[in-house]
Structure 1
Amino acid sequence: MFYLLLTVNLFSFIIFGLDKKKSIKHQRRISENTLLEISFLGGTIGAIAGMLIFRHKISKKSFLLKFGLIVLIDLVILYRLMKYEYI
Protein backbone atom coordinates (compact mmCIF):
# COMPACT_ATOMS: atom_id res chain seq x y z
CA MET A 1 0.00 0.00 0.00
CA PHE A 2 2.87 2.36 0.85
CA TYR A 3 4.50 2.03 -2.56
CA LEU A 4 1.21 2.56 -4.33
CA LEU A 5 0.56 5.81 -2.45
CA LEU A 6 4.14 6.93 -3.00
CA THR A 7 3.81 6.33 -6.74
CA VAL A 8 0.44 8.12 -6.99
CA ASN A 9 1.75 11.12 -5.03
CA LEU A 10 4.91 11.33 -7.13
CA PHE A 11 2.77 11.17 -10.27
CA SER A 12 0.47 13.88 -8.90
CA PHE A 13 3.44 16.12 -8.11
CA ILE A 14 4.86 15.66 -11.61
CA ILE A 15 1.48 16.35 -13.26
CA PHE A 16 1.09 19.62 -11.34
CA GLY A 17 4.61 20.64 -12.40
CA LEU A 18 3.93 19.68 -16.01
CA ASP A 19 0.70 21.69 -16.05
CA LYS A 20 2.51 24.72 -14.64
CA LYS A 21 5.20 24.39 -17.33
CA LYS A 22 2.51 24.17 -20.01
CA SER A 23 0.76 27.25 -18.63
CA ILE A 24 3.97 29.27 -18.82
CA LYS A 25 4.56 28.17 -22.43
CA HIS A 26 0.88 28.81 -23.37
CA GLN A 27 0.43 25.20 -24.45
CA ARG A 28 -2.59 22.94 -24.14
CA ARG A 29 -3.13 22.34 -20.41
CA ILE A 30 -4.09 19.40 -18.26
CA SER A 31 -7.72 19.81 -17.23
CA GLU A 32 -8.62 20.77 -13.68
CA ASN A 33 -10.82 17.68 -13.49
CA THR A 34 -7.82 15.48 -14.24
CA LEU A 35 -5.76 17.22 -11.57
CA LEU A 36 -8.58 16.80 -9.06
CA GLU A 37 -9.14 13.14 -9.99
CA ILE A 38 -5.47 12.30 -9.46
CA SER A 39 -5.61 14.07 -6.12
CA PHE A 40 -8.73 12.15 -5.12
CA LEU A 41 -7.17 8.81 -6.01
CA GLY A 42 -4.51 9.21 -3.33
CA GLY A 43 -2.29 11.95 -4.71
CA THR A 44 -3.31 14.65 -2.25
CA ILE A 45 0.11 15.09 -0.64
CA GLY A 46 1.85 15.22 -4.03
CA ALA A 47 -0.74 17.71 -5.25
CA ILE A 48 -0.23 19.97 -2.23
CA ALA A 49 3.54 19.79 -2.68
CA GLY A 50 3.18 20.58 -6.39
CA MET A 51 0.85 23.48 -5.71
CA LEU A 52 3.26 25.01 -3.18
CA ILE A 53 6.57 24.32 -4.93
CA PHE A 54 5.41 25.27 -8.43
CA ARG A 55 3.07 28.01 -7.12
CA HIS A 56 0.36 26.49 -9.28
CA LYS A 57 -3.41 26.85 -8.78
CA ILE A 58 -2.91 28.55 -5.40
CA SER A 59 -4.76 31.72 -6.32
CA LYS A 60 -7.72 30.11 -8.08
CA LYS A 61 -10.44 30.01 -5.43
CA SER A 62 -12.82 27.68 -7.30
CA PHE A 63 -10.06 25.08 -7.69
CA LEU A 64 -9.00 25.42 -4.05
CA LEU A 65 -12.58 24.92 -2.89
CA LYS A 66 -12.92 21.71 -4.92
CA PHE A 67 -9.49 20.57 -3.81
CA GLY A 68 -10.36 21.23 -0.16
CA LEU A 69 -13.46 19.07 -0.54
CA ILE A 70 -11.34 16.27 -1.99
CA VAL A 71 -8.90 16.52 0.91
CA LEU A 72 -11.81 16.31 3.35
CA ILE A 73 -13.27 13.26 1.58
CA ASP A 74 -9.84 11.56 1.52
CA LEU A 75 -9.42 12.20 5.24
CA VAL A 76 -12.83 10.71 6.02
CA ILE A 77 -12.02 7.63 3.93
CA LEU A 78 -8.62 7.28 5.64
CA TYR A 79 -10.24 7.60 9.06
CA ARG A 80 -12.84 4.96 8.22
CA LEU A 81 -10.16 2.60 6.92
CA MET A 82 -8.04 3.08 10.03
CA LYS A 83 -11.05 2.73 12.34
CA TYR A 84 -11.92 -0.64 10.90
CA GLU A 85 -8.22 -1.58 10.54
CA TYR A 86 -8.21 -2.20 6.82
CA ILE A 87 -4.80 -0.58 6.52
Structure 2
Amino acid sequence: MLTPLLTYLVIINLISFFMMGFDKGQAKRRKQRVPEKRLFIFAALGGALGGWTGMRVWRHKTKHTSFVIGMPTLLVVNALCVYLIWGQLLQP
Protein backbone atom coordinates (compact mmCIF):
# COMPACT_ATOMS: atom_id res chain seq x y z
CA MET A 1 0.00 0.00 0.00
CA LEU A 2 2.89 2.39 0.76
CA THR A 3 4.88 1.42 -2.32
CA PRO A 4 2.85 3.59 -4.77
CA LEU A 5 3.27 6.62 -2.49
CA LEU A 6 7.01 6.10 -2.17
CA THR A 7 7.36 5.51 -5.92
CA TYR A 8 5.43 8.70 -6.64
CA LEU A 9 7.57 10.73 -4.24
CA VAL A 10 10.83 9.42 -5.67
CA ILE A 11 9.73 10.17 -9.25
CA ILE A 12 8.34 13.66 -8.56
CA ASN A 13 11.47 14.60 -6.59
CA LEU A 14 13.79 13.35 -9.32
CA ILE A 15 11.83 15.34 -11.89
CA SER A 16 12.03 18.48 -9.72
CA PHE A 17 15.74 17.98 -9.11
CA PHE A 18 16.59 17.56 -12.79
CA MET A 19 14.26 20.37 -13.89
CA MET A 20 16.29 22.71 -11.68
CA GLY A 21 19.51 21.51 -13.33
CA PHE A 22 18.01 21.76 -16.81
CA ASP A 23 16.82 25.32 -16.14
CA LYS A 24 20.28 26.28 -14.88
CA GLY A 25 21.82 24.91 -18.08
CA GLN A 26 19.28 26.75 -20.20
CA ALA A 27 20.04 29.97 -18.32
CA LYS A 28 23.76 29.61 -18.98
CA ARG A 29 23.14 29.06 -22.70
CA ARG A 30 20.54 31.84 -22.83
CA LYS A 31 17.93 29.41 -24.16
CA GLN A 32 14.25 28.97 -23.36
CA ARG A 33 13.81 28.49 -19.62
CA VAL A 34 11.52 26.41 -17.46
CA PRO A 35 8.82 28.75 -16.12
CA GLU A 36 9.14 29.43 -12.39
CA LYS A 37 5.48 28.55 -12.03
CA ARG A 38 6.22 25.03 -13.32
CA LEU A 39 9.10 24.61 -10.87
CA PHE A 40 6.79 25.58 -8.01
CA ILE A 41 3.95 23.34 -9.24
CA PHE A 42 6.21 20.28 -9.23
CA ALA A 43 7.49 21.26 -5.78
CA ALA A 44 3.93 21.69 -4.48
CA LEU A 45 2.94 18.28 -5.87
CA GLY A 46 5.49 16.60 -3.62
CA GLY A 47 8.81 17.46 -5.25
CA ALA A 48 9.99 20.20 -2.90
CA LEU A 49 12.90 18.14 -1.57
CA GLY A 50 14.15 17.53 -5.12
CA GLY A 51 13.66 21.19 -6.04
CA TRP A 52 15.44 22.44 -2.94
CA THR A 53 18.29 19.96 -3.43
CA GLY A 54 18.57 21.03 -7.08
CA MET A 55 18.80 24.65 -5.99
CA ARG A 56 21.73 23.78 -3.76
CA VAL A 57 23.55 21.39 -6.11
CA TRP A 58 23.38 23.70 -9.14
CA ARG A 59 23.37 26.98 -7.16
CA HIS A 60 20.25 27.97 -9.02
CA LYS A 61 17.55 30.42 -7.92
CA THR A 62 19.39 30.93 -4.63
CA LYS A 63 19.04 34.72 -4.82
CA HIS A 64 15.30 34.65 -5.55
CA THR A 65 13.45 35.29 -2.29
CA SER A 66 10.41 33.40 -3.57
CA PHE A 67 12.55 30.27 -3.97
CA VAL A 68 14.69 30.74 -0.86
CA ILE A 69 11.52 30.93 1.26
CA GLY A 70 9.11 29.00 -0.97
CA MET A 71 11.00 25.74 -1.41
CA PRO A 72 11.65 25.10 2.30
CA THR A 73 8.05 26.09 3.07
CA LEU A 74 6.75 23.66 0.46
CA LEU A 75 9.09 21.02 1.86
CA VAL A 76 7.45 21.37 5.27
CA VAL A 77 3.99 21.23 3.68
CA ASN A 78 5.02 18.14 1.66
CA ALA A 79 6.36 16.44 4.79
CA LEU A 80 3.14 17.18 6.67
CA CYS A 81 1.01 15.80 3.83
CA VAL A 82 3.11 12.65 3.58
CA TYR A 83 2.88 12.18 7.35
CA LEU A 84 -0.91 12.49 7.27
CA ILE A 85 -1.32 10.24 4.22
CA TRP A 86 1.13 7.67 5.62
CA GLY A 87 -0.86 7.58 8.87
CA GLN A 88 -4.11 6.96 6.99
CA LEU A 89 -2.54 4.18 4.93
CA LEU A 90 -1.23 2.38 8.01
CA GLN A 91 -4.58 2.32 9.80
CA PRO A 92 -6.49 -0.97 9.55
Post-superposition offset of 1:72: 2.9
Mapping of 1:49-64 within 5 angstroms?
A: 49-64=53-68
Find the counterpart in structure 2 of residue 76 from structure 1.
80
Q: List alignment gaps of at least 5 residues for structure 1.
A: none
Q: TM-score, normalised by structure 1?
A: 0.83
Find the counterpart in structure 1 of residue 34 from structure 2.
30
Q: Is the 8 A contact 2:9 2:47 kept in 1?
A: yes
Aligned partner of residue 40 in structure 2, secondary structure: helix
Cα distance in 2 for partners of 1:43, 1:32 equals: 14
Post-superposition offset of 1:19: 0.3
Find the counterpart in structure 1 of residue 19 from structure 2.
15
Of 51-60 and 61-70, more deviation after overlay is shown by 61-70
Q: TM-score, normalised by structure 2?
A: 0.79
Aligned partner of residue 71 in structure 2, secondary structure: helix
Q: Is the 8 A contact 2:20 2:54 kept in 1?
A: yes
Work out which of the residue numbers 39, 46, 52 in structure 2 matches 1:48: 52
Count of paired positions: 86
Structure ID, larger Rg? 2
What percentage of residue pairs aligned between the two structures are identical?
27
Runs of 4+ in 1 over 4 A off after TM superposition: none
Post-superposition offset of 1:77: 1.5
Cα distance in 2 for partners of 1:43, 1:80 equals: 17
